[in-house]
Amino acid sequence: MTGPQPPGTIPLRDLFATLAEQLRQQALQGRGIEDRVGDVILDGASGAERLRNSLQGLDHIVQTLNELSHFLDDVALETDGHLRLAVAGPARRLRLRKLAEALGARREPIGQTPLHAAGEVDLF
């Protein structure tokens, strides 16, 4: 049995698993975009040739994200389960709110900031 854990730390295994899940979600979103763009190409819409070239780059991103997620899952399984890291500070510096929350930066809802006034959303 282990003693009390330092505040603000998480098990390394959990960090890797969370990172892998975030990568997997991004790969799935990219795959959805690929499918929609592919449908446009198949329908023969104007500009389809330009979309085809972009689609190849997007496919590479999706494959890379997917492979990285599997790699992190495997690395997580290789840890001893007792190593811990403090990730709250680094996660708070992430610019993507949901990613920061998923990685443990905040447990409570995020308040308004000058860049995110009431009613505004992050689109990109």
Output the 3-class SS for 32-65: HHHHHHHHHHHCCCCCHHHHHHHHHHHHHHHHHH
The pLDDT assigned to 46 comes to: 65
In a domain, 20, yes or no: yes
In a domain, 29, yes or no: yes
Evaluate if pTM is beyond 0.75.
no
Range of the domain at 56: 9-102
Q: Which residues of 88-100 are buried (b: 16+ CB within 10 A; e: fewer)?
A: beebeeeeeeebb
Look at the chain and report how many structural domains it folds into. Answer: 1
What distances in angstroms separate CA 111 from CA 93, 95, 107, 114, 117, one per listed residue? Answer: 15, 14, 12, 10, 9
62 contact partners, CB below 8 Å, separation of at least 6: 27, 30, 31, 34
In a domain, 4, yes or no: no
In a domain, 122, yes or no: no
pLDDT in tens, 27-76: 888 888 888 777 777 777 666 666 776 777 788 888 888 888 888 888 88
In a domain, 3, yes or no: no
DSSP string, 72-91: HHHHHHHS-S--EEE-HHHH
In a domain, 1, yes or no: no
In a domain, 74, yes or no: yes
In a domain, 38, yes or no: yes
pLDDT in tens, 92-113: 888 888 888 888 765 444 444 4
